[in-house]
Chain A
Amino acid sequence: MANSPRYHREKAHRYRLEAQKFSSGYVTLANRYIDPNTGSREFEIINLKGTGTILSYTIVHISSDQFGHQTPFPVAIIETDEGARITAMVADCNPEDLKIGGKVQLVFRKIQEEGASGIINYGYKAVLIDN
């Protein structure tokens, strides 16, 4: 379950797809102080275009309560064209159209609601695109 300050900190990633590109070329959406592969601490902020490729996917049939009203829903591991790896739901698709190697575009969507207060938490989901 998210809460407000915690959610606030992630807005740059979730709203604007801001990622770090380290001097080694490593790109990460998750905030890091150090490139785990090279130890580099030099990076610039880039905005991901949001296009990418499905590396694997599943259809979640049993979820936590937070997402229970949405089951079954697809989730995929995606590598963006810049090389960032992310995990995201795939929206607006027929599950049979999912495939490893399929192309996606990340879009801004509601992800969940926060506990008792019901504050809406947004973020990125993927939609399939023709390539």
Chain B
Amino acid sequence: MRDVAIIGVGMTKFGELWEQSLRDQFAEAALEAMDNAGVKKLDSLYVGAMSSGMYVNQEHLASVMADYIGQEGIPATRVESACASGAIAVRSAYLEVASGMSDIVLAGGVEKMWDTEDGTFVLAAASDQEYEAYNGVTFPGLYAMMARVYMEKYGLTREELAQIPIMNHKHAVNNPNAQYPMEMSLSTVLNSSMVADPLRLMDCSPITDGAACVILCPLDQASKYTDKYVKIKAIGAATGPIALHDHKDLTRLDAVRLSGERAYQMAGVTPRDIDFVEVHDCFSIAQILCVEELGFFEYGTAGKAFANGEGTYGGKIVVNPSGGLKAKGHPVGATGVAQILEAFLQLTGQAGLRQVPNAKLGMTQNMGGSGGSSVVTILEKI
């Protein structure tokens, strides 16, 4: 296995991209990444998308994208792991470069969510269709059931839970690509409309259009292209039960823990070595569960720690400097790549006003469904 670097990145603004189609979004992000890396020809590409078929009736996505970024002829593969599709695309590209099969591989993610009417129905397809969605439960409903057990078990208050979107929105103010780069008050969170009790609208990541791409190459070739690159020190992936009811403990996400353990082992580091982490805050409660599974906080303590400022600049670890899914936006298939893009910017000193000082090791964690899959990467400053 060869060491692998990320040598360029590109993304669209996240939001309601009424003037851009699914392929437009991907093309903008991909071409920006190729220009950023200084490459004109790819050896291969991977695109992650949760549900281009249900959102805009377009399958055969990898071929569409290779064609529309001027790379017709190359092998191209679409991968899918619900909301973790983006990081699975990066992992697939990583394996292809590490194996020696290809040198220059693009990994991208994209989702076009605003062109469909019943987005709740599409997202529910990432749950167990026959045994969860059939019976009316929504994705917010699944996370609401995790939140209820967690709040009862550990005494987390509704006000403490609200601190997570407030913190993420504060971070997003300094992210020009964020969908909602504005601060949010406690009363706004607590008075937002109920989606699935106890989760309110401001606990939920938004509906977002967007794309993000990164370019991978062998680490020993990276300096030929650019002086701004990072090393992919580890990638760990794992699966968990597809149905939430099959989690033995409803406050635990075994796939996140396993993917984290694999990444820590591969990198030879511990949570204490990580300077910042982008985690999958699809819902406020998810951010708590994920940082606990990754070992940054003891089980049952992360919510209160965040309320005490331990997840922001000057705290124990900066969590979601980009604004996270909540404030940056969550174009499902693009999210995992966008997290890795954020880590790239942080580790190459290009994160502007949201720069984490002296960041040397960054982590990303991208999750599918209600913990059915998770991918963790550890990226290192060169």
Question: Once the chains bind, are A61 and B135 in contact (CB under 8 Å)?
Answer: no
Cβ of A29 < 8 Å from any Cβ of B? yes
A59 to B140, CA, bound (A): 10
Cβ of B130 < 8 Å from any Cβ of A? yes
Could you tell me which residues of chain A, from 28 to 79, have a CB within 8 Å of some CB in chain B?
29-30, 36, 55-67, 70, 72-73, 75-78
Q: For the complex formed, measure the closest distance between the CB of B228 and the CB atoms of chain A, giving whole angstroms.
A: 42
Known: A58-B144, A60-B137, A63-B120. A87 touches B194 (CB 8 A): no
Known: A61-B197, A87-B244. A30 touches B130 (CB 8 A): yes
Question: Once the chains bind, are A57 and B120 in contact (CB under 8 Å)?
Answer: no
Q: For the complex formed, measure the closest distance between the CB of B153 and the CB atoms of chain A, giving whole angstroms.
A: 9
Question: Once the chains bind, are A59 and B197 in contact (CB under 8 Å)?
Answer: yes
Measured between beta carbons, the chain B residues less than 8 angstroms from A86 are 131, 245
- Chain A residue nearest to B150 (CB atoms) is A56
Cβ of A82 < 8 Å from any Cβ of B? no
Question: Once the chains bind, are A57 and B138 in contact (CB under 8 Å)?
Answer: no
Cβ of B145 < 8 Å from any Cβ of A? yes
- Chain B residue nearest to A37 (CB atoms) is B248
Main secondary structure of the interface of A (DSSP, over half): strand
Interface centre among A10, A72, A87 (most CB of B within 10 A): A87
Known: A61-B196, A62-B195, A111-B136. A100 touches B118 (CB 8 A): no
Measured between beta carbons, the chain B residues less than 8 angstroms from A125 are 135
A-B CB contacts (within 8 Å), total count: 111
Question: Once the chains bind, are B141 and A58 in contact (CB under 8 Å)?
Answer: yes
A100's contact among B124, B135, B141, B152, by CB below 8 Å, is which?
B152
Q: For the complex formed, measure the closest distance between the CB of B241 and the CB atoms of chain A, giving whole angstroms.
A: 8
Known: A30-B243, A62-B195. A55 touches B149 (CB 8 A): yes
Measured between beta carbons, the chain A residues less than 8 angstroms from B245 are 55, 77-78, 85-87
Cβ of A105 < 8 Å from any Cβ of B? no
Cβ of B154 < 8 Å from any Cβ of A? no
Cβ of B225 < 8 Å from any Cβ of A? no
A82 to B191, CA, bound (A): 41
Cβ of A93 < 8 Å from any Cβ of B? no
Measured between beta carbons, the chain B residues less than 8 angstroms from A67 are 136
Measured between beta carbons, the chain A residues less than 8 angstroms from B136 are 60, 63, 66-67, 70, 73, 75, 89, 111-112
- Chain A residue nearest to B241 (CB atoms) is A36
A76 to B47, CA, bound (A): 36
A67 to B198, CA, bound (A): 19
Measured between beta carbons, the chain B residues less than 8 angstroms from A124 are 135
Interface centre among B136, B241, B244 (most CB of A within 10 A): B136
Q: For the complex formed, measure the closest distance between the CB of A9 and the CB atoms of chain B, giving whole angstroms.
A: 9
Cβ of B250 < 8 Å from any Cβ of A? yes
Question: Once the chains bind, are B120 and A89 in contact (CB under 8 Å)?
Answer: no
Cβ of A2 < 8 Å from any Cβ of B? yes
- Chain B residue nearest to A56 (CB atoms) is B145
- Chain B residue nearest to A85 (CB atoms) is B245
Going nearest first, the 4 A-B pairs with the smallest beta carbon separation are A58-B144, A64-B121, A56-B145, A85-B245
With contacts A64-B121, A85-B245 known, what are 17 further pairs, Cβ within 8 A? A56-B148, A58-B145, A58-B196, A59-B194, A60-B137, A60-B141, A61-B197, A63-B138, A64-B120, A67-B136, A73-B136, A75-B136, A75-B141, A77-B145, A77-B250, A86-B131, A100-B152
Sample of 11 A–B contacts (CB below 8 Å): A30-B243, A56-B250, A58-B137, A60-B196, A61-B195, A62-B196, A65-B118, A75-B141, A87-B132, A100-B148, A111-B136
